[in-house]
């Protein structure tokens, strides 16, 4: 179910890049020399050292998040050098022991509700190493084609799993490759403008961003990839506020953000009737003469797509607005919403809100309270539509950034985007073949 995670967590800008490579003789010879100095003695350790050094070189002195868990880093599809956790841990510890990096071991503090990821950072000694061996941005640097079509299991750990391709995944990978090429060729900045002087300060550069589609496997008995569940596209700009996203520029041009209105619920109506909800705002709700704030109805609706009972939906709604945590680290906006929820609870029972939503949307009520599998199916219908819009603009050489069900685009293309959003509503979905829904 969709419940906001209030855990404070460190998010380094850089992560260990398993795809980087360089055939340069001098660079690789220097890695062998360091491998010997560190007292390493296995080929897998040499490979792990290479990947770690490559990631550190391109972090430009900033922290790099690295995994230390005693489990496989990823299946071969996402780990082309087949690096194991044992070799990686040994390399990290040796680099730290010999003073080449500063390693901060991650931890989980349940008392203060803080989670830290293990990070490494180049030390002065490693900087000298790069300089002495003349590491540089030569033309031989390349990245093994990253996996743009990702499949994970349906667990809390979200473990990546391997799969056999089908026609759709092959097509999708090609389209995502073209989109990511456009991303890499575009300048995307988060820019703050001084209101007095008009000067601009670059707060963040999104160069090197790779966007994937992440699907969820629900049918474990098949090896072929499932592309019916999940499929969201994630990127760094998904993690900043809407106010901050207003400061994004593409190719030094201001951008606008447009939303697919009430996307989840409207998708169910499109699948059922080929039209959006016909009676105004699908999130407008009054119960016993009390008008329920729109944000509560929207959150309850999302939860109802991912739970199996009214009591389960109520429990999830309570957990969302009234989380049981030692330290409340929510934003001021979220706290205000929680206070609003408390006020509404004094007037209307949460269970009655859930029942009222079911009654309001009786025509598509069979999509509710069916569990996470149906919720992930609906999310995929949304993400398919988002992807179609993105790829159509990419064919024209126009970059569109996505934040779940909204789009960020240069102002000059605003009308084109709105026209396409309207045109693709509805898409020709057919839910009759979905085994969970029982719709004839």
Q: For 324-350, what is the mean pLDDT?
A: 85
Confidence at residue 350, expressed as pLDDT on a 0 to 100 scale: 95
Confidence at residue 268, expressed as pLDDT on a 0 to 100 scale: 93
Q: Contact, 388 vs 292, CB < 8 A? A: no
pLDDT digits (tens, 9 = 90+) for 394-433: 999 999 999 998 999 999 999 999 998 887 654 443 443 4
* Main-chain phi, psi angles of 190, to 5 degrees: -105, 110
DSSP single-letter state for residue 411: G
pTM: 0.80
Token pair 């540089």: residue = 136
Q: Please check the confidence at residue 238 and state whether its pLDDT lies above 50.
A: yes
Average pLDDT, the chain: 87
Q: Contact, 439 vs 431, CB < 8 A? A: yes
Token pair 């945590």: residue = 325
Structure tokens given for 276: 């959006």
Confidence at residue 12, expressed as pLDDT on a 0 to 100 scale: 66
Q: Please check the confidence at residue 68 and state whether its pLDDT lies above 70.
A: yes
Q: Please check the confidence at residue 146 and state whether its pLDDT lies above 90.
A: no
Q: Please check the confidence at residue 41 and state whether its pLDDT lies above 60.
A: yes
pLDDT digits (tens, 9 = 90+) for 94-135: 999 999 999 999 887 665 556 788 999 999 999 999 999 999
Burial of 201 (0-12, 13-18, 19+ CB in 10 A): exposed
Confidence at residue 424, expressed as pLDDT on a 0 to 100 scale: 66
Q: Please check the confidence at residue 214 and state whether its pLDDT lies above 60.
A: yes
Confidence at residue 108, expressed as pLDDT on a 0 to 100 scale: 74
Residue 10 vs residue 114, higher pLDDT:
114
Q: Please check the confidence at residue 251 and state whether its pLDDT lies above 60.
A: yes
Query: Domains of the chain by range and CATH?
Result: 8-143 (1.10.10), 149-261+416-423 (no CATH), 283-360 (no CATH)
């Amino acid at each position: 179910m969709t419940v906001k995670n209030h855990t404070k967590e460190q998010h380094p800008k850089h992560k260990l890049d398993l795809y980087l490579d360089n055939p340069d003789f001098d660079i690789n010879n220097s890695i062998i020399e360091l491998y010997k100095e560190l007292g390493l003695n296995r080929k897998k350790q040499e490979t792990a050292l290479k990947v770690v050094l490559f990631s550190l070189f391109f972090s430009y002195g900033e922290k790099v998040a690295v995994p230390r868990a005693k489990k496989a880093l990823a299946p071969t599809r996402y780990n082309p050098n087949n690096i194991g956790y044992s070799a990686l841990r040994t390399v990290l510890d040796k680099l730290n022991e010999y003073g080449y990096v500063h390693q901060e071991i991650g931890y989980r503090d349940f008392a203060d509700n803080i989670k830290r990821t293990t990070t490494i950072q180049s030390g002065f000694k490693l900087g000298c190493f790069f300089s002495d061996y003349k590491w540089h941005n030569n033309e031989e640097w390349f990245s093994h084609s990253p996996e743009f079509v990702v499949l994970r299991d349906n667990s809390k750990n979200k473990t990546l799993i391997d799969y056999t391709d089908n026609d759709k995944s092959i097509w999708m990978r090609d389209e995502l490759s073209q989109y990511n090429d456009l991303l890499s060729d575009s300048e995307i900045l988060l820019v703050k403008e001084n209101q007095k002087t008009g000067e601009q300060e670059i707060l963040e550069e999104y160069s090197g961003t790779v966007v994937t589609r992440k699907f969820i496997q629900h049918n474990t008995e098949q090896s072929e990839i499932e592309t019916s569940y999940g499929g969201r596209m994630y990127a760094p700009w998904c993690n900043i506020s809407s106010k901050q996203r207003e400061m994004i520029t593409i190719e030094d041009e201001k951008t606008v953000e447009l939303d697919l209105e009430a996307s989840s619920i409207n998708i169910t109506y499109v699948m059922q009737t080929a039209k959006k909800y016909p009676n105004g705002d699908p999130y407008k709700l009054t119960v016993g003469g009390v008008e329920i704030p729109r944000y509560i109805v929207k959150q309850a609706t999302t939860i109802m797509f991912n739970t199996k009972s009214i009591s389960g939906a109520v429990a999830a709604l309570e957990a969302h607005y009234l989380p049981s945590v030692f330290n409340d680290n929510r934003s001021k906006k979220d706290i205000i919403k929680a206070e609003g929820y408390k006020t509404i609870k004094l007037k209307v029972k949460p269970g009655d809100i859930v029942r009222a939503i079911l009654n309001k949307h009786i025509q598509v009520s069979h999509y509710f309270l069916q569990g996470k599998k149906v919720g992930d199916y609906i999310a995929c219908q949304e993400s398919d539509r988002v992807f179609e819009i993105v790829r159509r603009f990419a064919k024209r050489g126009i970059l569109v950034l996505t934040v779940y069900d909204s789009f960020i685009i240069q102002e000059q293309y605003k009308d084109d985007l709105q026209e396409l959003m309207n045109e693709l509503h509805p898409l020709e979905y057919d839910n009759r073949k979905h085994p969970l829904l029982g719709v004839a």
